[in-house]
């Protein structure tokens, strides 16, 4: 007997076939019962005589054998009739929540405690399909621009980039740390390939407990050489976002509809505002004086997001030129005014999504930057070696995958955009 995918039933009208998958829902109506079968491709309806009381419970694994028949009222226009049911694997316990309802009506703790099974809900699956499409769009756009994908180590020998926020471990009797970003390695790899990207986990031992932080996340990292300055980097950010959302749109029509997602239009030129001007604007328009601040609060970012939408019809806003005092030592200063940096944040719907900028590229500049920061050079010896041997002007940025999906889907918490999130309290499932 021909076993077909649920999505193929429309091409097998009149034929006897098998379909197999999870019992998604069952319901009775008058003297007949409906079973929606879910497989890795989609769903299909089967119709049974009787009240359906003998049908397997939701999530049971079944193989259905029957005839495909057109029916205008069936989802997709076809259904399986006169089916026989073979139960391949039974359900052991009642589900922690109904997976067949349109909404998954559970609180965040239940969702996370039972993510193993609740991630099967269509709304959850849709979110992670968007994540997969975002990664694919990221890679495709960069591959088309001659970037090379790299995989750099996550176990590192010095807690260099920001000591307080790294996890440490015992590595065969000596200390090691988990990489909190591939920053140093991706810069080093500019020396090798000029243009590189990486998709991989990063680890942050931050004690934040907010709706936009998790302690392990997926970072989409980009770094490339022979830039003019941070504006070259921002131009790539723009094109890359366009590529990511184009891929999401073309791959995920069904998921976008299901989640009621508004895929943003990426403007040909994303509006940009200097950090200094952002402070002035917020102060003038809200009456809250923030002149002299060295960072933007989440409230400031939200306000700027609304402003960009109102004034520029843009879901995106670049804030450029953050103070050097708040940026890491490898940040390239603004040559016109070294109080400010050649760096940027990208706000997406009022939340910081991307941080990036131009990096220093001269060995002597690194030595003086480390001295200014009060940092020793020794832990950075291998990193600095790259700059001894010819590094071009370069820059890059990182996108937090889960935060991208959170903002795209307007989820209340970034943990909802993570398969199995890690926070201060949670290491399982």
Size of the site for a second copy (CB under 8 A): 95
Contact status: 391 vs a second copy (CB under 8 A): yes
The answer to the question of residue 203 lying near a second copy (CB under 8 A) is yes
Residues 401, 182 contacting (CB under 8 angstroms): no
Part in contact with a second copy (CB under 8 A); list of ranges 185-193, 303-311, 314-322, 339-347? 185-193
Contact 227, 358 (CB under 8 A): yes
> Site for a second copy (CB under 8 A): which residue of 4, 21, 26, 65?
21
Residue 282 found at the interface with a second copy (CB under 8 A): no
Q: How far is the CB of 84 from a second copy (least distance, A)?
A: 18
Q: Which two tokens stand for residue 33?
A: 């019962």
User: In angstroms, what is the minimal distance from the CB of 364 to a second copy?
Assistant: 8
Is residue 168 helix, strand or coil?
A: strand
For a second copy, which is the closer residue by CB, 189 or 319?
A: 189
Name the residue nearer to a second copy (CB basis): 106 or 309: 106
- Should residue 376 be labelled a site residue for a second copy when binding is judged by CB under 8 A? no
**Within 10 A of 212 (CB to CB), how many other CB atoms are there?**
16
- Closer of 120 and 274 to a second copy (Cβ): 120
Asked if 343 contacts 321 with a C-beta cutoff of 8 angstroms, the reply is yes
Listed ranges 234-242, 301-309, 337-345, 383-391: which one lies at the site for a second copy (CB under 8 A) = 383-391
The one among 30, 174, 287, 374 contacting a second copy by CB under 8 A: 174
3-class secondary structure per residue, 390-417: CCCCEEEEEEEHHHHHHHHHCCCCHHHH
Query: Among 363, 375, 411, 413, which residue sits at the site for a second copy (rule: CB under 8 A)?
Result: 363
SS3 36: strand
1 binds a second copy (CB under 8 A): no
| Secondary element (H or E) of residue 131 | helix 122-143
148 lies in the site for a second copy, by CB under 8 A? yes
∠ CA 87-92-93, rounded to 5°: 130
Question: Coil, strand, or helix at residue 119?
Answer: coil
User: Contacting a second copy (CB under 8 A), which of 162, 201, 264, 267?
Assistant: 201
For residue 108, what are the contacts with CB-CB under 8 A and spacing of at least 6? 413, 415, 416
Binding characters for a second copy, 407-426, by CB under 8 A (x = yes) = ------------xx-x-x--
Binding mask 54-93 for a second copy (x = CB under 8 A): -----xxx--------------------------xxxxxx
User: Minimal CA–CA distance to 416: which of 142, 100, 108, 80?
Assistant: 108
**Does position 213 bind a second copy by CB under 8 A?**
no
The interface region with a second copy, picked from 128-136, 237-245, 308-316, 347-355 by CB under 8 A, is: 128-136
Query: Would you count residue 144 as binding a second copy (CB under 8 A)?
Result: no
Per CB under 8 A, which region of 28-36, 150-158, 229-237, 303-311 contacts a second copy? Answer: 150-158
Question: Shortest approach of a second copy to residue 333 CB, angstroms?
Answer: 17
Q: How far apart are the first and last CA of the chain?
A: 39
d(CA 176, CA 157): 5
Contact, 217 vs 402, CB < 8 A? yes
DSSP H helices in 252-297: 253-259, 275-286
Query: Looking at 47-55, 100-108, 262-270, 356-364, which segment touches a second copy (CB under 8 A)?
Result: 356-364
How many whole angstroms separate alpha carbon 183 and alpha carbon 424?
24
- Binding residues for a second copy restricted to 219-248, rule: CB under 8 A: 224-226
Asked if 207 touches a second copy (CB under 8 A), the answer is: yes
Contact 46/79 with Cβ under 8 angstroms?
yes
Q: Is 169 in the site for a second copy (CB under 8 A)?
A: yes
Residue closer to a second copy by CB (options 118, 273) is 118
- Contact (Cβ atoms closer than 8 angstroms) between residue 9 and residue 17: yes
């Amino acid at each position: 007997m021909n076993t077909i995918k649920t999505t193929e039933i429309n091409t097998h009208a009149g034929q006897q076939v098998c379909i197999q998958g999870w019992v998604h829902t069952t319901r009775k109506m008058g003297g007949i019962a409906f079973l929606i079968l879910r497989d890795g491709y989609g769903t299909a309806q089967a119709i049974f005589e009787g009240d359906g009381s003998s049908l397997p419970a939701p999530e049971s694994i079944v193989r259905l054998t029957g005839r495909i028949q057109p029916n205008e009222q069936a989802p997709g226009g076809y259904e399986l009739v006169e089916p026989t049911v073979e139960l391949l694997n039974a359900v052991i316990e009642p589900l922690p929540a109904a997976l067949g309802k349109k909404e998954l009506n559970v609180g965040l703790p239940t969702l996370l405690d039972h993510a193993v099974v609740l991630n099967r809900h269509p709304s959850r699956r849709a979110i992670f399909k968007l994540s997969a499409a975002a990664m694919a769009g990221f890679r495709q756009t960069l591959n088309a621009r001659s970037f090379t994908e790299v995989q750099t180590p996550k176990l590192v020998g010095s807690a260099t980039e920001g000591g307080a926020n790294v996890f440490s471990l015992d590595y065969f009797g000596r200390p090691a740390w988990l990489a909190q970003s591939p920053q140093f390695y991706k810069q080093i790899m500019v020396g090798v390939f000029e243009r590189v990207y990486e998709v991989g986990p990063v680890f942050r031992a931050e004690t934040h407990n907010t709706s936009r932080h998790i302690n392990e996340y997926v970072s989409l990292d980009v770094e490339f050489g022979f830039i003019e300055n941070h504006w070259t980097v921002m131009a790539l950010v723009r094109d890359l976002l366009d590529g990511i959302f184009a891929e999401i749109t073309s791959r995920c029509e069904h998921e976008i509809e299901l989640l009621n997602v508004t895929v943003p239009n990426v403007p040909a030129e994303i509006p940009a505002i200097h950090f200094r001007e952002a402070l002035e604007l917020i102060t003038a328009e809200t009456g809250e004086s923030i002149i002299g601040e060295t960072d933007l609060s989440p409230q400031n970012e939200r306000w700027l997001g609304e402003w960009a939408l109102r004034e520029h019809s843009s879901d995106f806003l670049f804030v450029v030129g953050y103070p050097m005092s708040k940026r890491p030592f490898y940040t390239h200063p603004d040559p016109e005014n070294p109080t400010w940096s050649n760096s940027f944040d990208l706000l997406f719907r009022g939340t910081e999504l991307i941080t990036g900028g131009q990096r220093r590229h001269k060995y002597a500049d690194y030595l003086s930057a480390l001295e200014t920061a009060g940092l020793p050079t020794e832990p950075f010896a291998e990193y600095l070696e790259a700059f001894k041997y010819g590094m071009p002007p370069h820059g890059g940025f990182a996108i937090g995958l889960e935060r991208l999906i959170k903002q795209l889907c307007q989820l209340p918490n970034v943990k909802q955009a993570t398969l199995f999130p890690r926070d201060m309290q949670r290491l399982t499932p």
